[in-house]
A = this chain, B = another copy of it.
Amino acid sequence: MRTILLTIEYDGTPYSGWQRQPGRPTVQGEIEKALSLVCGKRVTVDGTSRTDAGVHAFGQRASFSGEFGIPTDRIQFAVNNALPDSIRITAAEEKPAGFHARFDSRGKTYIYKIVDSCGPDPFMRNYYYFVKDRLDIAAMREGAAAVCGTHDFACFQAAGGNERETTVRTVSALDVSEGQAVFPDGTCAREIDLEITGDGFLYNMVRIIAGTLVDIGRGRMAASEMSGIIAGCDRSQAGHTAPPRGLYLKEIFY
């Protein structure tokens, strides 16, 4: 009995999210189809994050266990051959028995990519949140600082997620960085990346934090309001939910 941990990169655009659903294209469904072909038997995987429809990943993780003929160092190549081009296995490693990609994870990092002062680029429309207004990065950084730490983040939880026992989470870092997006036609625009690391995230938490920071950047909310929003534990006081297309699951920590 072997346990294998996969690292997976994907473009979430063509999929109804990570989680397997009958009759719909999902990332988990495609990976299980390819793995089952390669292993010659039905294989199911446990993913770390159930990313929503349209959300991307640079470093999703998923584990599976069983008896398989294929050597571990051949899995990446063989599974990639069977996968659609929108999903790539970037690593496959053997883990001790009992290892589980989700239960054993200690935290994760997401990146949320924004382009401001700009309508959607026709080619990159599914890979950034294009915001027509010019955003105030200093204000966004001030708002982001108030998010860091251990808080009850009920204000950033969307309805419809799992009702969990606690809405307390620790955000260990939330960086707002400025760069340049270069589009296929050679034009450029300012890119603002939000990089957030925490021990876990509530349903839609990263997208609601991103939307709230965009509202602060636009001047619709004051950065100084962020602490009160978190303390209030009321979803309706936070900003809008930023669209899935700007969100990337960057890394999982064990």
**Chain A residues with a Cβ under 8 A of chain B:** 9-11, 56, 58, 80, 85-88, 113, 119-120, 122-123, 125, 127, 182, 184-185, 248
- Assess the B182–A123 pair: CB atoms within 8 A: no
Contacts A58-B184, A85-B122, A182-B182 aside, 18 further interface pairs with beta carbons under 8 A come to A9-B122, A9-B185, A10-B122, A11-B122, A11-B123, A56-B123, A58-B185, A80-B119, A85-B120, A85-B125, A86-B122, A87-B122, A88-B119, A88-B122, A113-B184, A123-B127, A184-B248, A185-B248
CB distance from A167 to the nearest CB of B (A): 31
Chain B contacts for A123, CB-based, 8 A: 11, 56, 127
Roughly how many angstroms separate A10 CA and B124 CA in the complex, as a whole number?
11
Roughly how many angstroms separate A252 CA and B148 CA in the complex, as a whole number?
52
CB distance from A9 to the nearest CB of B (A): 5
Chain B contacts for A120, CB-based, 8 A: 85
Roughly how many angstroms separate A11 CA and B10 CA in the complex, as a whole number?
20
